[in-house]
Chain A
């Protein structure tokens, strides 16, 4: 999400992030109610129109979808092998529709808006005493911030293996990756405390 936001002033940009996220959640459920190919095709076309509103050049718009669409195609392909063709088409249409809608929401919602909305939506759960909504927002931000760092660290460990002439094995890569990530997690937690980000709300 961090690199997928597109500056703009489209109808999707102007729409409240809450409406966008709730609509996406509702569509995710509704799409799985129907198995009618005609209906799902219309839904997919509408989703494509919504994605088109974002204002991305066609080439960029397609490039963004490629990795997810390839995954959907693989899922649909296996469905085609093991299930009737109708099921495969339904799966393809449902997931493609969801991908288009999610891409539209992602391209028109900043990370801050996303965190704020998720925090606000979790606010009613605060009364149960089980959930701290501000922490949920913070956790989301941390995931988005540090996933690229963990990937970089993974690459560095792989390169260290190669530099020493060692074969890269999951077991020898994962252990140092987990240890280094946990060590950094301690430092990040200290930084959060030092900035009084959690202490202030508790």
Chain B
């Protein structure tokens, strides 16, 4: 993963959501922490191209993410509410939908859908209705839908939000085992405690860019 922020910032009118930021991100696991409204999600949406920078630019593996045509599906995004991310009623159909829109053949789609479900041991979810899935199952189904298209970078926004202990452990295990690079935005400090690098945002600014223990300690000071 090679993500570069080149003076990239976001403002909505007079309100600054993210101060201009110059930063390079590489590595396998990056944590992003901070209080509500600190700019974490804006930071993540810039990487995916969902939010365009008001100033500066963001590149991912050399591609400018503000350019919709150039922005390849290098970055997968798992939202805070996975129930809103699954857009077709049946899990298998939903996973296949993104692939179909990318022009894969029927045989390729079937192989990829079966492959990604098998990867997470989630074959039993294939023919289930999204509406009936539990929080943990929804999170796994959303992961399958995103990873089926083969992004090299995955952004997870509050992946353990509203999950019970069992499902939280499941999601944590999945994140740990992902071969893809992952950027994890979370209030769950245990989730990022072993990460090589953690970014702390505060009031729209990068307040710390440090190993997990140091960034978490700084966060506790800010939150106190």
Contacts and interface: CB of A to CB of B under 8 A. Distances in A.
Contacts of A144: 88-89
Nearest to B98: A195
Contacts of B84: 184, 187-188, 191
A123 interface: no
A190 B87 CA distance: 11
B137 to A, nearest CB: 15
Interface in B89-105: 89-90, 93, 96-98, 101-102
Given A134-B101, A197-B87, A112 B93 contact: yes
Contact of A191 (B85, B89, B102, B129): B85
Contact of B129 (A3, A115, A138, A187): A3
Contacts of B83: 149
Q: Do most interface residues of chain B lie in helix, strand or loop, or is the interface mixed? A: mixed
A111 interface: yes
B78 to A, nearest CB: 9
A111 B50 contact: no
Contacts of A149: 83, 131
A111 B86 CA distance: 15
Contacts of B90: 2, 111-112
Contact of B79 (A134, A194, A197): A194
Interface residues of B, number: 29
B101 A201 contact: yes
A115 B77 CA distance: 25
A196 B75 CA distance: 10
Interface string A24-65: 000000000000000000000000000000000000000000
A144 B94 CA distance: 12
Contacts of A174: none
A145 interface: yes
A133 interface: no
29 contacts: A2-B89, A2-B90, A111-B88, A111-B89, A111-B93, A112-B88, A112-B90, A112-B96, A115-B88, A141-B87, A141-B88, A141-B89, A141-B93, A142-B87, A144-B88, A145-B87, A145-B89, A187-B81, A188-B84, A191-B77, A191-B84, A194-B79, A196-B102, A196-B149, A197-B87, A197-B101, A200-B73, A200-B102, A201-B101
